[in-house]
Amino acid sequence: ETGVTQTPRHLVMGMTNKKSLKCEQHLGHNAMYWYKQSAKKPLELMFVYSLEERVENNSVPSRFSPECPNSSHLFLHLHTLQPEDSALYLCASSREGASLRGYTFGSGTRLTVV
Amino acid sequence: DQQVKQNSPSLSVQEGRISILNCDYTNSMFDYFLWYKKYPAEGPTFLISISSIKDKNEDGRFTVFLNKSAKHLSLHIVPSQPGDSAVYFCAASSSGAGSYQLTFGKGTKLSVIP
């Protein structure tokens, strides 16, 4: 148990579907993150929320829509995705921003777009 | 342009010997450096970190060395154990208020042979 829980673990969706990824943490952390891991690429930061306010959006296409209703929950809403969006999507949280304590990651959602 | 580079995609080491994983960075603003370990089907877990004011940090079998002039860091694992077999990610960030970006390398897959 990492303290950051992601659901679902696996998701297969068609290009016209709408789905949501969920992330939950009860570590008392103030910041939450969405990362994308594609094959043979570094982890790419997508969004950052600090105290429920979005503080970073790294040029992510609008077909990805994050939502942070409270400091414990983070969602990633997906619609009209492309096959190249297939990847491992990782949620993370931290007590503050960048620090030597690092982030706590969830186990990820393996997304396949068909 | 990759700011954090791990040039060895894989490394094989005999059990009991030393594993040395290398990482180079280009951004001179980075002053926090972290190593993460990732098993298949799990999220990355924080392993060890170092700030730019130090050149070495040790935690049990794991030691991280930082050479600021060369913009290079390395992770030493001594002695290596089969359970250390995983993908190791190097990450870096700059400190300061409002800093949330943690930049990752592509990872090095370590295989420890019994």
By three-state DSSP, how is residue A83 classified?
helix
In the block, residue with structure tokens 């370990």 = B37
CA distance B93 to B2: 13
Q: With cut-offs at 50, 70 and 90, classify the pLDDT of residue B2.
A: confident
The arithmetic mean of pLDDT across residues B30-38, rounded, is 95
Q: Measure CA of the first residue to CA of the last residue in chain B; give whole Å.
A: 38
Residues of B within 8 A of A105 (CB-CB) are 36, 43-45
Contact A104/A5 with Cβ under 8 angstroms?
no
The arithmetic mean of pLDDT across residues B46-62, rounded, is 96
pLDDT (tens place) for every residue of chain A, 114 residues total:
459 999 999 999 998 889 999 999 999 998 999 999 998 788 999 999 988 778 777 789 999 999 999 989 999 999 999 999 999 999 999 987 778 888 999 999 999 999
Give residues with Cβ within 8 angstroms of A103, minimum separation 6.
A33, A92, A93, A94, B46, B102
The arithmetic mean of pLDDT across residues B94-110, rounded, is 85
Structure tokens at A102: 């690092």
CA distance B10 to B27: 24
Q: Which of A47, A74, A100, A104 should one mutate to test binding to chain B, selecting the residue with the greatest count of B CBs within 10 A? A: A100
CA distance B14 to B82: 9
Q: Cβ of B2 and A97 within 8 Å? A: no
Q: What secondary structure does DSSP assign to A82-113, as a single string?
A: -GGG-EEEEEEEESSSS-TT--EE---EEEEE
Predicted local confidence at residue B97, as pLDDT? 63
At B53, give phi and psi (nearest 5°): -85, -5
Give residues with Cβ within 8 angstroms of A1, minimum separation 6.
none
Q: Cβ of B105 and A50 within 8 Å? A: no
Give residues with Cβ within 8 angstroms of B107, minimum separation 6.
A42, B6, B9, B38, B87, B88, B89
Structure tokens at B57: 């940090």
What rounded mean pLDDT belongs to chain B? 94
* B49, B94, B99: residue with CB nearest A100: B49
Q: With cut-offs at 50, 70 and 90, classify the pLDDT of residue B23.
A: very high
Sign of CA dihedral A56, A59, A60, A65: positive
Partners of residue A62 on adjacent β-strands: none
Structure tokens at B66: 């930082």
Structure tokens at A11: 């998701």
How close B113 gets to chain A, by Cα (Å)? 24
Spatial strand order in the sheet of A73-79:
A4-7, A18-25, A73-79, A64-70
